[in-house]
Amino acid sequence: MESNILLDLKNVNKVFGNNHVLKDINLQIERGKFITFLGPSGCGKTTLLRSIAGFYTVDKGEVWIDDKLVNDLPPYKRGTPMVFQEYALFPHMTVFDNIAYGLDIQKRPEGEVQQRVEAAMAQVKLTGLEERYPHEMSGGQQQRVAMARALVMNSPIILLDEPLSNLDAKLREEVRVELRTLQQELGLTVIYVTHDQLEALSMSDYIVVFNKGAIDQYGTPHEIYYEPRTQYVADFIGTTNFIDAVVEKSEGEMATVRYGQAGDTVTVTSKERLIVGEEVHLCVRPESLRIRQPEAGEFKMTGIIKSSMFLGEKERYFLVDEVGSEWIVDAYDIGKTHFEGFVQMSAATDKIHIIKKSN
Ligand code: ATP
């Protein structure tokens, strides 16, 4: 039976000189999923993508594609075409010729090239634009040409390295939707590299968060956002308020922690194995905090509003608490209330997430 795992990376390491760029990467990617490699510049995303494609050989570890060990295979034998920034279309070639390029290199018969290119163009809804040149197409259409180029080769995985980074904000959003729709309709396996967290959250089935050449977390966008495993992940994805706390009680998935000057406690669920007396971070997203009196058992904090900012669908408040730590609270009932001065903040217990300091 065909395995559901299309890409299996085992202990992959890559070193450039004395720069250890990839550190023991272990990752399994399922067929038909949209996976994003997310992380700041220089964390090794592109290096891993190029190692999968075969442009780099790994120094240690194994790269398996479709149950085949491909460590020693050159790129063209791996079936993993890469689509780069700016799509790397040939400006002097028509759309048809751009898409046919890979097949021409393989010296496929003309009839087969014609038929496969037409099929790929139909898949990405570009039929009729065969004779256009890249500069005569919109950014979104160019993106689709680049996808068709990959599709025409019948590759199992499509690797995209920041393909949208040169588009303006509005077009970027349109092409994002198009790309995700195409991937879902055709059941493609896509690995997408970006440092844009919103892009990652909105497009992916799974996100891989990189931290200095290692994987900090691999999970669904929901898990990455609401259950970050490390402070680094919580910080990198969106905005998070942190406060130090100490574990007072831990039973199964329930933990009671003590936090703040007044020594308040809150009982929350946590999938982590926590030890009584352990120091942890509590984290809470700005949209999960409310400026209002706490209800019994809720997380609570007092602060002084320093400034606020209108962000369209919400008002963002910047506060400091009694020990001078900064807090951010997003309020969505704009226009009805405006807060100033000394206030109470609170959050429901299911909005409080615990991160182990040792992670
Ligand atoms: P970006 O978003 O800026 O592309 P990235 O996360 O993709 O960042 P990489 O391009 O993988 O990061 O680079 C990771 C590290 O490896 C960097 O320190 C970079 O300088 C180094 N590096 C990448 N390619 C090479 C190479 N061919 N030779 C030497 N060092 C390299």
Q: pLDDT tens, 24-63? A: 999 999 999 999 999 999 999 999 999 998 989 999 999 9
pLDDT (mean) for 278-299: 95
Instruction: Tell me the pTM.
Output: 0.86
Query: Rounded to the nearest 5°, which phi and psi values hold at 195?
Result: -110, 10
Quick check: helix, strand or coil at residue 260?
A: coil
- The total of other beta-carbon atoms located within 10 Å of residue 186's CB is 14
- The pLDDT of residue 358: 85
> Who lines ligand 1 at CB under 6 A?
16, 19, 21, 39, 41-47, 195
Which residues is 34 bridged to in the sheet? 190
CA-nearest residue for atom 26, ligand 1, is: 16
The region, left, alpha or beta by phi > 0 then psi within -120 to 50, assigned to residue 187 is: left
pLDDT at residue 21 in the model = 96
Report which secondary-structure segment, H or E, holds 120: helix 110-123
pLDDT per residue over 297-347, tens digit each?
A: 999 999 999 999 999 899 999 999 999 999 999 999 877 778 999 999 999
CA 127/CA 235 separation, integer angstroms: 44
Query: Angle 145-149-153 (CA atoms, 0-180°, nearest 5)?
Result: 155
pLDDT tens for 232-274 read 999 999 899 999 999 999 999 999 999 999 999 999 999 999 9
* Backbone torsions φ then ψ of 319, nearest 5 degrees: -125, 165
Fold of 5-234: Rossmann fold (3.40.50)
Q: How confident is the model at residue 171 (pLDDT cuts 50, 70, 90)?
A: confident
Q: Which band of pLDDT confidence, cut at 50, 70 and 90, is reported for residue 166?
A: low
Residue 205 pLDDT grade (very low, low, confident, very high; cuts 50, 70, 90): very high
Residues 6+ apart with CB under 8 A from 93: 101, 133, 134
Q: Ligand 1 centroid to 44 CA: how many Å?
A: 6
pLDDT-derived band at 2, boundaries 50, 70, 90? low
Q: What is the Å distance from ligand 1's center to 206 Cα?
A: 23
Query: Do 239-356 and 5-234 have the same topology in CATH?
Result: no
User: Can you identify the CATH homologous superfamily of domain 239-356?
Assistant: Nucleic acid-binding proteins (2.40.50.140)
Could you tell me the maximum CA-CA distance found in the chain, to the nearest angstrom?
Answer: 78
- Bridge partners of 227, per DSSP, are none
Task: Name the more confident of 302 and 85.
Answer: 302
Sketch the domain layout of the chain as residue ranges: 5-234, 239-356
Test site for ligand 1: of 15, 18, 19, most ligand atoms within 8 A of the Cβ: 19
Whether the Cβ atoms of residue 30 and residue 53 lie closer than 8 Å to each other: no
17 Rama class: left (phi>0) / alpha (psi -120 to 50) / beta: left
**Do 143 and 89 form a contact (C-beta atoms < 8 A)?**
no
CA distance 280 to 259: 10
The answer to whether the complex's ipTM is over 0.90 is: yes
Confidence tier at 192 by pLDDT (50, 70, 90) = very high
> Is the distance from CB of 51 to CB of 78 less than 8 angstroms?
no
